[in-house]
Structure 1
Amino acid sequence: MTSVSLLGPGDEPIVLGVTTPATPVRVPTTRRYLMCPPEYFTVEYAINPWMDPTQPISTSLAVQQWTDLKDTYERLGHKVDLIEPQPGLPDMVFSANSGTVIDGQVLGSRFRAEQRAAEADHFRRWFLANGYTNVVMPERTNEAEGDFTWTGKYLLAGTGFRTDPLAHSEAQEVLGVPVISLQLVDPRYYHLDVALFVLADDLVAYYPEAFSPGSQRVLRRLFPDAVIATAEDAECLGLNAVSDGRHVVLPVEATHLAEEVAKRGFEPVFVDISELRKSGGGPKCCTMELRD
């Protein structure tokens, strides 16, 4: 029986949990991500409960935190591609909202908020310029990996605040994968990716209270061994995390969630996303996975 620890932001040791001989050995897989530098990041409108245009924003701090996130991915052995940010699109940094890619098939996005609508076409052009030939732009509103989460077997699809329920069947037709609809009920957790993330294979972490009672039952049936997050985990956007099958990149405040995933054999990797969180985003929001 051994404890799992790593260094926190001040280089102090943090004990995150205890593993036992029965704890699975987690194996990372190399991922490819698409990210957008937050060169024009600010909060000049409010389209979710996290956004307050009256509060001060530091674009330079957002750039520093984003760069640390990108460097973390590359240090872990992952490949990061970049898309050029565009003036007037401060939320373009949240690249996860602009495309869902499975087996090289791309389903683009259609934003609900007019302030973000132009982002979709910039990403469409990036896909076409970078060798993707199967690119479909949706007829129904969907905010891509914000509400579409690929488990390797199912596409979990959120609705309730942003993505049109009819976009779920459209995703199934375009991507050719089974889709499971989940209803979100708490406006703070307006996208699926701030209420649930995939750790590995058939294991997820999620915050039950973000979902309708029926969706909670679906999640319990599909993932009986899931990591159950607390309100505190959710409130720091701890579930807006990224796992490569071993390493779990998550906000530095999510210490309870980190301890829980460490007990399952994962290695938490903390990042500071406090400035980006002012727009309702975290590590996953900044990270579109390119599954070629």
Structure 2
Amino acid sequence: MVYRQADQLDFTIETTPPMPLPRRVLMVSPDHFDVEYVINPHMEGHVGQVDRALARRQWEALRDTYRTLGFEVHVLDGVPGLPDMVFCANQTLPFLRGDGGRGVVLSRMHAPQRRDEVPHLARFFEQQGYALVSIPDEVPGSFEGMGDALWHPGHALLWGGYGFRTDQAVYAWLARELGVRVVALHLTDPDFYHLDTCLSLLDAGTALYVPAAFDEAGRALLHRLIPNLIEVPEREARELLACNAHCPDGRHVLIQRGCTETVARLRAAGFEPIELDTGEFLKSGGSVFCMKLMFF
């Protein structure tokens, strides 16, 4: 079932099936990263303004952080002509079935400039033994993987953002195909064009969020299901993409450097922030979460 209103909820997080946290990380090398077009508000004024040498150092620092935390990092080479492929959270949605089978749903990218990225990720996952699942032709609209579809930590529950890059109709199909509940959240502010720019799930009961990114129904769903919601200041969310942080283990939170108030709130909640500079990637509208894909 897809839930769009709080009064539809007939479950709690604790009653959803468990699902292990993924321990492998996929990243795409930034060799061809640049801002060559404008498909979100953050890209405005940044075409041709990327310092590639600096971007490489920032990317390597993120890669090394995951390795230091004990994660297995896989690197896929970037492809000429696909400058946004480095944001590898968007092209697929990895999943586990109840019988232990692994698969990925292949994205149907909204922007034509990014559609050729998907086959490269599909080949990688096929080599890893994943089943490839394509959205049927009869299901309308676009879908941008883990940019908009987020697994609840430790549970087979999917949070799905829609309104800018992903069509809400896709979630009804996903719920049936994967056999999971989907909580659908309507995104209303173009600065927060993906769910991963305004919601960061930290552990089973805690998340960072930007209230202004959601409509009233979305805020009600979040408050009903997540007991510890940490509000991110709008300036840090809009200018530094503070909500594009990532907590891979329920403890450490990788976040853009300079999100002072967000970092303080994370520490007060018992998390360990790790501040990283992703400034070159912010020019394209992405930060930590966009630059990696967790898989099983």
Q: Deviation per CA, 1:87-136, whole angstroms, max 9, x where unpaired? A: 0000000000011112222111110000000011111111111221x210
Equivalent residues of 2:106, 2:132 under 8 A apart: yes
The residue aligned with 2:85 is 92
Matches within 5 A, 1:188-207: 188-207=191-210
Q: 2:278 aligns with which of 247, 269, 273?
A: 273
Q: Deviation per CA, 1:192-211, whole angstroms, max 9, x where unpaired? A: 00000111112211001000
* 1:135 has 2:136 as partner: no
In the TM superposition, what is the alpha-carbon distance from 1:55 to its structure 2 partner?
A: 5.5
Aligned residue-pair number:
262
Equivalent residues of 1:136, 1:174 under 8 A apart: no
Q: 1:56 aligns with which of 32, 49, 60?
A: 49
Question: Which 4+ runs in 1 deviate beyond 4 A?
Answer: none
Q: 2:288 aligns with which of 269, 283, 286?
A: 283
Equivalent residues of 1:202, 1:223 under 8 A apart: yes
CA distance, structure 2, for counterparts of residue 107 and residue 246 of structure 1: 28
The residue aligned with 1:12 is none
The residue aligned with 2:65 is 72
In the TM superposition, what is the alpha-carbon distance from 1:224 to its structure 2 partner?
A: 3.1
Equivalent residues of 1:40, 1:88 under 8 A apart: yes
Q: CA RMSD in A?
A: 1.4
CA distance, structure 2, for counterparts of residue 30 and residue 146 of structure 1: 16
CA distance, structure 2, for counterparts of residue 60 and residue 138 of structure 1: 37
CA distance, structure 1, for counterparts of residue 178 and residue 262 of structure 2: 31
Equivalent residues of 1:251, 1:271 under 8 A apart: yes
Describe the SS at the equivalent of 1:50: helix
The residue aligned with 1:21 is none
The residue aligned with 1:38 is 30
Equivalent residues of 2:205, 2:227 under 8 A apart: no
Equivalent residues of 1:106, 1:175 under 8 A apart: no
Equivalent residues of 1:105, 1:175 under 8 A apart: no
Shifted more, 91-100 versus 196-205: the winner is 196-205
Structure-1-length-normalised TM-score = 0.86
The residue aligned with 1:145 is 146
Structure with the larger helix share: 2
Describe the SS at the equivalent of 1:43: coil
AA aligned to 1:209 is A
Matches within 5 A, 1:222-261: 222-235=225-238, 236-243=240-247, 244-261=249-266
Gaps (5+ residues) in structure 2? Answer: 1-20, 97-101
CA distance, structure 2, for counterparts of residue 254 and residue 176 of structure 1: 37
In the TM superposition, what is the alpha-carbon distance from 1:255 to its structure 2 partner?
A: 1.6
CA distance, structure 2, for counterparts of residue 31 and residue 242 of structure 1: 13
Aligned sequence identity (%): 39
In the TM superposition, what is the alpha-carbon distance from 1:174 to its structure 2 partner?
A: 2.7
Shifted more, 119-128 versus 217-226: the winner is 217-226
In the TM superposition, what is the alpha-carbon distance from 1:30 to its structure 2 partner?
A: 7.2
